Amino acid sequence: MSEARKRVGVLISGRGSNMAALIEAARAADYPAEIALVISNRPDAAGLETAAKQGIATRVVDHKQFESRNDFEAELYEVLARARIDIVCLAGFMRVLTPSFVERWRGRMLNIHPSLLPALKGLNTHARALATGVKMHGCTVHFVVPELDSGPIILQEPVPVLEGDSEEKLAARVLAAEHRIYPAALRLVAEGKAGRG
């Protein structure tokens, strides 16, 4: 690739296993993006340590330290801008972002959601998949738009619901698929092959 690798900021709130999958993928010499920064809104997010151990720069922007959502997002934007971030990946980031923040990143902000969107938007998707009796579940990487868990789909992977599945078993099977499609979707976006979002 002749162009410079895109600089990616990953936003997390917890475990950070999808973040780790992105970091791992970005090690490949031919990967079109580098993970330049990991930001957590929670100081205790386990993913911060995982990222630091991999030599990735980390920052905490604790939403509790700000008086308003706008102040929190202004700082978030500053931190991303200062790091010259091109693409933002939400990876288990548990804060809803305002339409104005989202608009500033339109076509440059991705999210991973543990269902085959547009089915099962919101939380507790694995329990709800089991409760509704669907035979096919899965995960989706999509561009972020102001409406939650909506926005143009970049990649999906179906995951079967198996006889005797528990929420944990199903979640683990879906998570393995998440770790495959998130790096693949980021590659498409970084190469300009995923549309404009």
Catalytic (active-site) positions: 113
Give the nearest distance from C-beta 141 to ligand GRF in angstroms: 9
Give the nearest distance from C-beta 123 to ligand GRF in angstroms: 9
> Does 32 help bind ligand GRF (rule: CB under 6 A)?
no
Of 152 and 192, the one with the shorter C-beta distance to ligand GRF is 152
| Cα–Cα distance for residue pair 44/16, rounded to 1 Å | 12
Task: Name which of 164, 65, 66, 175 is nearest 115 in CA terms.
Answer: 175
> Does 85 help bind ligand GRF (rule: CB under 6 A)?
no
Residues 140-159 that bind ligand GRF (CB under 6 A): none
Among 33, 42, 110, 113, binds ligand GRF (CB under 6 A): 113
> Does 183 help bind ligand GRF (rule: CB under 6 A)?
no
Of 36 and 140, the one with the shorter C-beta distance to ligand GRF is 140
Q: Which residues bind ligand GRF (CB under 6 A)?
A: 12, 14-19, 91-92, 112-114, 175, 178
